[in-house]
Amino acid sequence: AQSVTQLDSQVPVFEEAPVELRCNYSSSVSVYLFWYVQYPNQGLQLLLKYLSGSTLVKGINGFEAEFNKSQTSFHLRKPSVHISDTAEYFCAVNKETSGSRLTFGEGTQLTVNP
Site string for another protein, 13-52 (x = CB under 8 A): -------------------x-x-x----xxxxxx--x-x-
Work out whether 106 is an interface residue with another protein (CB under 8 A). yes
Cα–Cα dist 1/26, whole Å: 8
- Contact with another protein (CB under 8 A) among 107, 108, 110, 112: 107
Nearer to another protein, 7 or 15 (CB): 7
Distances (CA, A) of 102 to 3, 32, 39, 71: 10, 9, 20, 20
Distances (CA, A) of 58 to 6, 11, 45, 48: 20, 21, 15, 7
The distance in angstroms from the start CA to the end CA of the chain is: 41
* Least gap, CB of 77 to another protein (angstroms): 21
Site string for another protein, 56-95 (x = CB under 8 A): ----------------------------------x---xx
SS3 category, 64? strand
Please report, as ranges, the residues that interact with another protein according to CB under 8 A: 4, 32, 34, 36, 41-46, 49, 51, 90, 94-107
